[in-house]
């Protein structure tokens, strides 16, 4: 049954709940329950194979309790919002309902909604199109594609091309998807259909990593349909990923002008303000959202992060530990809480918290990595190594694990073995990981008194990112060993002007983010 069996089981549970309520319902409550049954019926119609069984139960309840189930007239056609956008928010696409999907007339009449379009087609095309939309709603894209392709054999319609293009985009068939989108652009001037096609095209651009062009596409969508808040949301995401934090801030702020209670937009606005080095503004945004939804875990995690950035380390830790204790299964919260405990020097408590999680989620590789690093920070490399080897086969991030294993070897003064392990991580394409690997490799060369070689790797690490106190300190030590006293003094002053960040802090950062 794939995607929709658990969803449909939830509808049955809802009907059973209404059944229990109806047995003792007051006259005032019964109309509301009838309204709920009507809504459940509308939902059930999307789930093809189970529709009749649920319909029979609803009819039985309606007749048994003599309910008057309200029937609504179809919503009138509204050109300015004639089609719900295809995709919704990136990575959180919303389903598309038949209830509010009018389309432009393909026969040049002034008002022509989706139902009229569907039922004016040949019967087979109508059946296949309705089936295709139902599968699309249920995120069952392969049967949706097959049904829409069958519909297209009977009728060449821009609405079918639009949905088929969207399905093919989800399946990663970019070239074929764009062919169908071109049919939409060529076949209609309807604002809503063209905008929906632009949105699908923007998603294709995102899939292929063309953030800049996707950003421009979402900008066009917001100009065409400024009331479509998800386009502003996706525009903000693209701008943020491009590092254009002020532009991202403007996009998310635009959403909050219309809907101040949009928690996702508040959270992301707070995040881009944080990245813009405006922690006070970010905290105010976070507090505003928390006032509306004080139990939201994402907002509370953001609050803890901001408190730490603002120097309120104890308050940050208190929020994080409380959040971690409330949800023993949230790995992201666990990682942040443990990192704060390690930063505070409380490695025993951090280890205990990680073990508690592993008692519930045995051999979870990311948490095993963090546990190994925690033992390493506690000065127990012999306990760390077997845990790290256990994590390695199933780890999603082998480079970080090799860095940790290299650190184990370095702690045992087995520097040649450490070098071999660090070199495995030097190949990583991510600059922060490669930078840490270069630094650790250079430190193992220093330990073997190979200062000329160490100097090369330290300079390579230095230029890969913003100034770092640990790297600058190592450069100072290395320059001193090579007799370059002026350079050593200069590097030492630069390091002292920065907040000291040890290599293991970076290592735990990398493990925490994963």
Q: Which of 24-28, 58-62, 471-475 has the lowest mean pLDDT?
A: 58-62
Q: Residue 89, SS3?
A: strand
pLDDT tops 90 at residue 389: yes
Q: Do 128 and 58 have their domain in common? A: no
Residues with Cβ < 8 Å from 9, sequence gap 6 or more?
Answer: none
Name every residue whose Cβ is closer than 8 Å to that of residue 215 and which is 6 or more positions away in sequence: 235, 238, 239, 242
Whether pLDDT at 483 is above 90: yes
Q: Is residue 136 very low, low, confident or very high in pLDDT (cuts 50, 70, 90)?
A: low
Domain check: are 147 and 253 in the same one? yes
| Same domain, residue pair 267 and 406 | no
Encoded tokens for 431: 């600059």
Looking at the fold, whether 157 and 56 belong to one and the same domain comes out as no
Q: What is the rounded distance in angstroms from the CA atom of residue 406 to the CA atom of residue 65?
A: 72
Residue recorded with tokens 């813009």: 276
Model confidence at 7, pLDDT cuts 50, 70, 90, reads low
Query: Is residue 164 within 8 Å of 156, Cβ to Cβ?
Result: no
Q: Give 87's DSSP letter.
A: S
Do the Cβ atoms of 280 and 310 come closer than 8 Å? yes
Element (H, E) at 358: helix 347-360
- Provide the strand spans (E) within 409-491: none
Find the domain containing 48 and state its range: 4-64
Q: Which of 64-68, 153-157, 210-214, 264-268 has the lowest mean pLDDT?
A: 64-68
Band (pLDDT 50/70/90 cuts) for residue 89 is low
Specify whether the CB–CB gap between 61 and 15 falls below 8 A. Answer: yes
Question: Which residue(s) pair with 92 in the sheet?
Answer: 89
Q: Is residue 379 part of a domain?
A: no
Residue 76 maps to a domain: no
Question: What is the rounded average pLDDT of the residues 459-484?
Answer: 91
Closest CA to 191 of 86, 79, 78: 79
42 and 190 part of one domain: no
Q: Tell me what the mean pLDDT of segment 399-423 comes to.
A: 92
Pick the residue with more confidence: 513 or 142?
Answer: 142
Model confidence at 92: pLDDT above 90: no
Question: Is residue 456 a part of any domain in this protein?
Answer: yes
Name which residue leads in pLDDT, 140 or 191: 191
Note the pLDDT tens digit of each residue in 55-86: 557 766 776 777 765 544 433 323 233 334 44
- C-alpha atoms less than 13 angstroms from C-alpha of 305 in its C-beta half-sphere: 23
Q: What is the DSSP letter of 121?
A: S
In the structure, what pLDDT confidence band is assigned to residue 139 with cuts at 50, 70 and 90? low
What would you measure as the largest C-alpha separation in the chain, in angstroms? 96
Q: Which of 242, 276, 310 is the last residue of a domain?
A: 276
d(CA 293, CA 261): 9
> What CATH number does the domain containing 122 carry?
1.25.40.10
Shared domain for 56 and 193, answered yes or no, is: no
Q: Which of 64, 80, 100 is the last residue of a domain?
A: 64
The DSSP code sequence of 176-210 is HHHHHHHHHHHH---HHHHHHHHHHHHHHHHHTT-
Contacts within 8 Å (CB) and 24+ apart, 261-267: 261/292, 262/229, 263/289, 263/292, 263/293, 263/296, 263/298, 263/299, 264/89, 264/233, 265/229, 265/233, 265/236, 266/299, 267/298, 267/299, 267/302
Judged against a pLDDT cut of 60, whether residue 133 lies above it is answered with no
Q: Which residue has the tokens 């004016």?
A: 120
Report helix, strand or coil for 88: strand
Confidence of residue 246 (pLDDT cuts 50, 70, 90): very high
pLDDT value at 295 more than 50: yes
Structural domain includes residue 469: yes
Q: Find the mean pLDDT for residues 452-465.
A: 90
Average pLDDT, the chain: 79
pLDDT at 61: 74
Same domain assignment for residues 241 and 158: yes
CA–CA gap between residue 162 and residue 160 (Å, rounded): 5
Q: Is position 158 within any domain? A: yes
- What is the number of domains present in the chain? 3
Neighbours of 21 (CB within 10 A): 14
pLDDT value of residue 134: 55
Q: What is the pLDDT at residue 107?
A: 36
- Look at 85-99, 258-272, 299-313 and tell me which has the smallest mean pLDDT: 85-99
Which residues, 6+ apart, have CB-to-CB distance to 332 below 8 Å?
301
Q: How far is CA 238 from CA 52, 170, 245, 272, 298, in A?
A: 44, 19, 10, 12, 20
pLDDT computed for residue 71 by the predictor: 47
Domain boundary residue, one of 241, 261, 276: 276
pLDDT at 329 over 70: yes
- Residue 243 and residue 145 share a domain: yes
pLDDT at residue 128 is higher than 90: no
89 strand-pairing partners: 92
CB contact at 8 A, 174 and 193 = no
Asked whether the predicted pLDDT for residue 108 surpasses 90, the reply is no
């Amino acid at each position: 049954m794939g995607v929709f069996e658990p969803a449909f089981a939830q509808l049955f549970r809802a009907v059973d709940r209404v059944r229990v309520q109806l047995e003792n319902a007051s006259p005032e409550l019964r109309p509301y329950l009838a309204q709920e049954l009507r809504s459940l019926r509308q939902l059930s119609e999307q789930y093809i194979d189970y529709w009749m069984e649920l319909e029979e139960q609803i009819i039985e309840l309606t007749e048994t309790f003599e309910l008057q189930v309200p029937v609504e007239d179809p919503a009138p056609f509204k050109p300015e919002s004639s089609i719900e956008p295809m995709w919704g928010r990136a990575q959180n696409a919303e389903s598309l309902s038949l209830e509010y999907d009018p389309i432009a007339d393909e026969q040049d009449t002034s008002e022509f909604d989706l139902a009229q379009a569907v039922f004016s087609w040949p019967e087979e095309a109508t059946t296949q199109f309705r089936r295709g939309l139902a599968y699309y709603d249920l995120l069952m894209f392969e049967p949706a594609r097959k049904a829409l392709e069958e519909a297209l054999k009977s009728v060449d319609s821009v609405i079918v091309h639009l949905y088929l293009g969207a399905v093919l985009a989800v399946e990663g068939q970019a070239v074929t998807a764009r062919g169908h989108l071109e049919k939409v652009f060529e076949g209609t001037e309807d604002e809503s259909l063209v905008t929906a096609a632009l949105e699908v095209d923007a998603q294709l651009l995102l899939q292929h990593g063309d953030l800049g062009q996707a950003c421009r596409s979402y900008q066009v969508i917001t100009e065409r349909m400024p009331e479509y808040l998800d386009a502003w949301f996706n525009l903000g995401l693209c701008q943020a990923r491009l590092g254009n934090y002020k532009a991202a801030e403007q996009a998310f702020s635009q959403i909050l002008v219309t809907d101040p209670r949009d928690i996702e937009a508040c959270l992301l606005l707070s995040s881009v303000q944080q990245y813009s080095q405006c922690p006070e503004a970010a905290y105010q945004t976070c507090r505003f959202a928390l006032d509306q939804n004080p139990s939201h875990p994402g907002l509370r995690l953001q609050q803890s992060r901001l408190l730490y950035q603002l120097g309120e380390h104890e308050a940050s830790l208190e929020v994080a530990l409380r959040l971690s204790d409330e949800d023993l299964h949230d790995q992201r919260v666990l990682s942040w809480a443990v990192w704060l405990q390690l930063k505070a020097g409380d490695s025993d408590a951090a280890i205990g918290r990680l073990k508690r999680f592993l008692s519930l989620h045995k051999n979870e590789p990311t948490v095993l990595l963090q546990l190994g690093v925690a033992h390493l920070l506690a000065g127990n490399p012999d306990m760390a190594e077997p845990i790290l080897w256990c994590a390695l086969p199933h780890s999603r991030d082998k480079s970080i694990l090799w860095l940790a294993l290299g650190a184990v070897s370095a702690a045992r003064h087995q520097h040649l073995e450490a070098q071999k392990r660090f070199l495995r991580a030097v190949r990583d394409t991510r600059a922060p990981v490669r930078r840490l690997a270069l630094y650790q490799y250079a430190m193992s060369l220093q330990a073997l008194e190979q200062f000329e070689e160490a100097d090369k790797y330290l300079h390579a690490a230095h230029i890969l990112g913003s100034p770092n106190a640990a790297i600058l300190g190592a450069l100072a030590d290395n320059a001193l060993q090579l007799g370059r006293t002026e350079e050593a003094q200069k590097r030492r002053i630069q390091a002292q002007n920065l907040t000291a960040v040890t290599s293991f802090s970076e290592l735990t950062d990398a493990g925490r983010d994963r």
